Structure 1
Amino acid sequence: MRPPPDRSELGSAFSAATSAARSAHSEAFSSTSSVADSGADHAAAATYSSAFSATRSAAHSVSHSAAAPALAADSALSAAYADTTLQIPNMFHAQLWPNPTEIGHLLRYLEEFRIHASKHAEWAFWAEWYQGFVDGKPLDWELQRRVAVIDDAIWEQGPEAVAAAIDKVKAEMLSEKLPMAEIIEVNPDTGKFRAVPIPIQNQPHMSALLNQVEDALEDCLGGHNGLRETAGDVRKLNRALGKYREDPQNAELTLSTVAGSLRRQIHESRELPDNEDNLALLSTVEDAVRGIRAEHPDVEENRLKRASLAVQELPEEDKALLRDALPVLEELSDDPLGEDFSEDFEEMLSPRLHNDAVGPVPDLPECAKPLMGEYRAFSRISKFALLMEKGAKIFDSKEIKSARLAHLGYTVTQLFTQLVQIGWRLFEVLL
């Protein structure tokens, strides 16, 4: 049995193979610029096939000098030659090593690195980055671009500084993908986070819309219309009519969720009768949603972005961290922001419903539309993380550190880094 190669031997073998491979790539890409676009990929593939003959010769010459480096070179050749059969756009979505059994000795190094990265957070991104190329599932290209342009001065400070900069980039991108027409800031009087809604553009019109919803809801309750004070949709409507009355973004989020739920219960599941009162309530809620969007362009723009998103089912370990994080978020937030987190997390951690339908959906698709609570909570968490980066020493010195996080082994800043990671996994469309 051949002994595993050491790193210097691997370096010698790969140096020869890679040198020839670079020439092959250069020649291949030159060929693509000299032909029409429709045939570029085929021309490139043909050139790769001939050019990689040079790679094979170079690597085989190395193999005569040492058996172990030859094994590494042959493995590299196998992967490189396989790439010549792919069209260029598909190359990054193919596994880096087509036959991983041939490079077990190399994969051991990767596994060692993954173990190291799991214990040293500053290397976690790079383990994930490399694994993406190994699996043919590279990380989001915009994320990679922003990491690449991190200021040189930060790179020179070392891996910890770079890791902090990458965490900030992730929080910024999550915030951009989940916009809310509000400002998250620190209340100077309490030292806690608060949400400041955008101003209402037409207060009389907003009040008139919500008054119509209030009247229609009153007509539906207490009769034989199927709605009760304790129903989830009724509680949501009462929040929109009460604490969100001066908050167009959250009023729109809540009312649009209720409108979708009422439509399904009246027209699809028939859990609510399609009588005059219920249809009037649905109509007034839909009118209110349209009216808010018409008066507030930011709210409408956010709705369009929200409609393009999809979410993945979270693993149990992520849900466990969310449960642990909830009291911390409540402690760090002024009301009603803290109350919102409680409601949003209750929705996220309950058995997933189909856009607030009354029961779980059989055969839930791999991707689903985000719930209101998922969207709102992670929009705010991403903004918390950015504010936390500016005042980490203040937040990490609070009593909350020992009171709420002792059993987790996190500082507040580290907790928010983990929560942003969960947001990236949840909104899989970002990756």
Structure 2
Amino acid sequence: MTEFDGGDQVPELRFNMLFGNQAAKETIPYFIGEKQSVLMALNVRILLRSLPRMFIALVDRDPPDIDAIILSAFRAAISTAVGCKYPNFLSDRDAVSEELLQINLHQLDSVVHIANSCAQFFGANSERRGAELVAGSIDASLLAFPENEVVNQVLADQEHQGQGTTGEQVFYSPLFSVYDPPDNYKSAMWYFDQVPNNGPWIFWRSWYQGYFDGQPLDWELQKQIALIHNSIWNAGPNAVADEIRRVRARLKVESSLAELEVSLEVKRLARHSIGGNNPPESIHDERLSGAITLIWEATEELSTALEEENPAREWIEAILSKLKSGLTSLLKWCAGKVNLAVGTVIVVGATKGTTVVVDAYISKHPEKIEALIEALERWLPFLS
């Protein structure tokens, strides 16, 4: 990688970085030709590196709208990063739009300018416009960092991007991969550490740490947070924190259900036998069959319920009750069958006239059912 020292080492463009519009103007040609998702990734990385400056300035100034400023910057960053991972996210104009993400530029000089540039990517419809946004962010970040560090870090980001299909590839490298993080990064972590563990900023601390280390949080989680309704964002950090807890609770239910379904290893008897020439042994046991049937029916019903954004609490409570009943019966049966072979098959009376075969592996792993029950219990308070 070619480093920048303020001279002519970069052949594609002479970076004559000055404060003001001239810097932005001269860097524009360097970014034309890049995919929009790549430009978005470069821009949001500039914002993430500059956030510590925002914390320091906010502590110094102590404006009355400090929470709104922080939340707006976080929203711009997470929405833009998600747009790099999921290109179709850009077209979801009902959930994400420039109007919803707009930040008042007068509030906090350079960092707010960069956050605003991230928001404007959702309205950018040309390579030229995307290049202008990145160049403007570089120019603004010069208030916080030396010019050679700014440019070399952006060049490193482009190099790390490589041949990835989407722009999120660069997020898997540390935020400061060219030079050591400045002291004000410690100030950012200090700011986060001042809030109690159950405070409204606890998620954002781990979210920022993930990008700093080059290990971003789960993308589906970030996507669902970016899609939080505008009215909730406007209600402030506590409302957003409550919604994040709800989102995480539902996602935990979904992941626990997926893990349980994998363990069940359900197969339909569409052929003469299972296992080829050496089919596993079948056990016909009414108590076990009843337990597995309850669990199987509960997972099917839960899959259906999760198709709705807000399923009725009573529905989820009924599913939870069925799971608990099935687990209780299964544990009683397992107590007397500790040596059951993994290859054993239990024939269960299935719904809709189809025979279902469940691998007895599940009889040795009730913790997956317990995990789903626990996830459902944590999700229930968020349902009405």
Report the TM-score range of the alignment, normalised by the length of the smaller protein: 0.3 to 0.5
User: TM-score with structure 2 length normalisation?
Assistant: 0.42
Bigger Cα Rg? 1
User: TM-score with structure 1 length normalisation?
Assistant: 0.38
Structure of higher RCO (CA pairs closer than 8 Å, 6+ residues apart)? 2
Query: Larger helix proportion, structure 1 or 2?
Result: 1
